[in-house]
Amino acid sequence: MDLSGPAQRMTIFVGEQDSHGGHALSHEIVRRAHASAMAGVTVFRGVEGYGASSHLHTAHILSLSDDLPICIVIVDSAEAIERFGVQLDDLIEGGLVIVEDVTVLRYVGHNRGEAGA
């Protein structure tokens, strides 16, 4: 896939305990993004945060949370991001989804099996 120049970044903020169909919601979003041939997806686990409920989720030892923040970042063309956004309607019950315009400077995959890959 050639991805360079103008693109969009979709960032999805959910909780670690959010689920869909018996799986972690983040896993389901990645699975659907992969099935939709999105250019790339990365999931980040936060150490602390809060959202619309104002409930603080933290990994500090004195107040261990089992529902830490999860951030899922997807980068692709504006058209692909728009199409994928429709799939989130039945998945996300609580959280935040934002879309930003970005510029892709370099998007190169690794060739598996080659030296240095």
- Would you say residue 109 has pLDDT above 70? yes
Q: Which range, of 6-20, 41-55, 64-78, averages the lowest pLDDT? A: 41-55
Task: Report pLDDT for 3.
Answer: 82
What is the reported pTM?
A: 0.81
d(CA 75, CA 88): 15
4-35: b (≥16 Cβ within 10 Å) or e: eeebbebebbbbbebebeeebbbebbbebbee
Residues 6+ positions from 29 with CB-CB distance below 8 Å: 12, 41, 72, 88, 91
Q: What mean pLDDT is predicted for residues 11-36?
A: 93
With a pLDDT cut of 70, the percent of the chain lying above it is 79
Q: What mean pLDDT is predicted for residues 61-89?
A: 86
Considering only residues 113 and 7, tell me which one the structure prediction assigns the higher pLDDT.
7
Please name each of the domains of the chain with its CATH number: 5-104 (3.30.70.120)
- Would you say residue 117 has pLDDT above 70? no
d(CA 10, CA 98): 6
DSSP conformational letter for 70: E
At 71, which helix (H) or strand (E)? strand 69-76
Task: Report pLDDT for 64.
Answer: 54
